Amino acid sequence: MKEKSSVIELDGRTGEGGGQLVRIACALAAVATQPVRITNVRGNREGPRGGGLKSQHVTAIDYLARATQAEVEGLSVGSHTLEFHPRERPSALMSRNIKIAADSPAASTMLIFQAVFPFLLLAGNDKGEPITLEISGGTNVSFSLSYEYLDQVLLPTLHDAFGIAVERKLLARGWSLGKQQRGRVEFKFKPLKPGEPLKFKGEGVVYGGDGPLPVVEDVETIDVSMIVPAAMHDAMMEALVEDLEQLFDGVEPNFKVVEDSAADSRIYVLLVAQAGQVRWGRDILTSMPKKAKGKGAAPTPSSFCATISRKLCKELYEEVSMGGVVDEFLQDQLVIFQALAEGRTSFPRAEAKDSLEQAMKELKLGEHKMRKEKAGKPFGDGSTHTTTARWVTAELLPTVGWYNKGTFCEGVGMHMDAVKK
């Protein structure tokens, strides 16, 4: 009889202390069949955004609970304590056609996808059958990656870095701003085969190659996605073209997605710069102000477009100028895949390029020069989302190794044995 694993306890106020901690913990618990208990769920989200589980967390964990035949306590919106005891491994999954619908149309489909995808990626069978996954909820939601960011930044990077190929289709757009509108997204992919671990496909260990890190002058293309009211299209295009050409000399923007959002309350713009395989994204989801703060008239659509453009272009330029291979948001979204993968990977966001170059020298000198991080609390360089994500992987996967301020990860090589019949 299989010995029961002891429950790993996490304080939901640790580090970033939001929903990301919950998603990663439950995703890894489902993958590793590891019981987990989270107290003070989203404990750093008191205030306007509230603490406790939200609809998108409940929706994702409910699916994982059913897929793993888990025992669950505290799975309800607003709950501050969650206990999740999965009993079946991903390899036991029978269904290949999955539909997940959030109770709230404003619940992020992209965050639900992030929570269930690692489990489904490891749910391969001997027949090599693909999985079709449809999720309904919001596709453009505040405090969440958008469908466009997932489509143009996260999934292409997973494909280039790990060979993960995911077909995706936006069936309907869903918004959290303005009148709530439910959207739907369909994904289709082949999970890893039984016995097959996730493997880094790059040369060396650093994404994009172990040579010099890219700089602003290496940017080849900048894709623009704008879903804004039709009346703002021309002004937004003109502002973005002018600002991008000033910052990225010689790079002509490519307007990849141009849609009418049909409401002043729904304004979304994404910029994606690319240099070889490396992508950096910056976006904004906002509404047209009804009146200016303080005295004075409300901004005109033209002046508001100019404000959005200046902000986004400046943020994208600063991100690329850091000399890393991921943006602030992509870095933390890749942590769970680094931890699950076989071997060593690095996706640096080099705020301190000298320290990265030193770490690369130490890597080449051998294991004795590498400094393994103590993982008792969030650690390493990067945003609080990134440092918290690393901490959660270390708690749920004790054999994972993070080195040199999180610059390098030695993954566990997670794989599923074939189900014995």
Residues 26-46 have a mean pLDDT of 94
- Shortest CA distance to 40 belongs to which of 77, 3, 84, 10? 10
Residues 271-276 have a mean pLDDT of 97
Q: Residue 76 — very low, low, confident or very high, per pLDDT cuts 50/70/90?
A: very high
Predicted confidence (pLDDT) at residue 352 exceeds the cutoff of 90: no
Predicted confidence (pLDDT) at residue 372 exceeds the cutoff of 90: no
| pLDDT tens-digit readout, 157-185 | 999 999 999 999 999 999 998 888 899 99
Residues 46-67 have a mean pLDDT of 88
Q: Quote the CA–CA distance of 157 and 278 in Å, as a whole number.
A: 8
Q: Residue 369 — very low, low, confident or very high, per pLDDT cuts 50/70/90?
A: low
Q: What is the pLDDT of residue 412?
A: 96
Q: Quote the CA–CA distance of 123 and 67 in Å, as a whole number.
A: 10
| pLDDT tens-digit readout, 141-158 | 998 999 999 999 999 999
Question: CA–CA distance from 136 to each of 53, 172, 174, 220 (Å)?
Answer: 18, 9, 8, 35
Q: What is the pLDDT of residue 204?
A: 84
Predicted confidence (pLDDT) at residue 72 exceeds the cutoff of 80: yes
CB 411 within 8 A of CB 338: yes
pTM for this model (two decimals): 0.93
Residues 253-265 have a mean pLDDT of 96
DSSP helix/strand/coil, 55: helix
Q: Quote the CA–CA distance of 310 and 9 in Å, as a whole number.
A: 44
Range list of H helices, 33-81: 55-68
Q: What is the pLDDT of residue 357?
A: 61
For the chain, what's the residue count?
Answer: 421
Which residues, 6+ apart, have CB-to-CB distance to 190 below 8 Å?
A: 124, 128, 129, 130, 131, 165
Q: What angle do CA 25, 169, 115 make, to 5 degrees?
A: 5
- End-to-end Cα, the chain, rounded Å: 17
Q: Residue 81 — very low, low, confident or very high, per pLDDT cuts 50/70/90?
A: very high
Predicted confidence (pLDDT) at residue 2 exceeds the cutoff of 50: no
Question: CA–CA distance from 47 to each of 145, 180, 196, 388, 393 (Å)?
Answer: 22, 22, 44, 21, 28
| pLDDT tens-digit readout, 180-228 | 889 999 999 999 999 999 999 988 888 988 778 898 999 999 999 999 9
Q: Percent of the chain scored above 70 by pLDDT?
A: 90
Predicted confidence (pLDDT) at residue 56 exceeds the cutoff of 90: yes
Q: What is the pLDDT of residue 1?
A: 33
Predicted confidence (pLDDT) at residue 365 exceeds the cutoff of 60: no
Q: Residue 106 — very low, low, confident or very high, per pLDDT cuts 50/70/90?
A: confident
b/e code 150-170 from CB counts within 10 Å (16+ = b)? bbbbbbbbbebbbebebeeeb
Question: CA–CA distance from 343 to each of 65, 204, 322 (Å)?
Answer: 29, 11, 26
User: What's the mean per-residue pLDDT of the chain?
Assistant: 91
Q: Residue 306 — very low, low, confident or very high, per pLDDT cuts 50/70/90?
A: very high
CB 341 within 8 A of CB 197: yes
CB 177 within 8 A of CB 143: no
Strands 36-39 and 82-85: antiparallel
Domains contained in the chain, CATH given:
89-194 (3.65.10.20), 216-321 (3.30.360.20)
Q: Percent of the chain scored above 90 by pLDDT?
A: 76
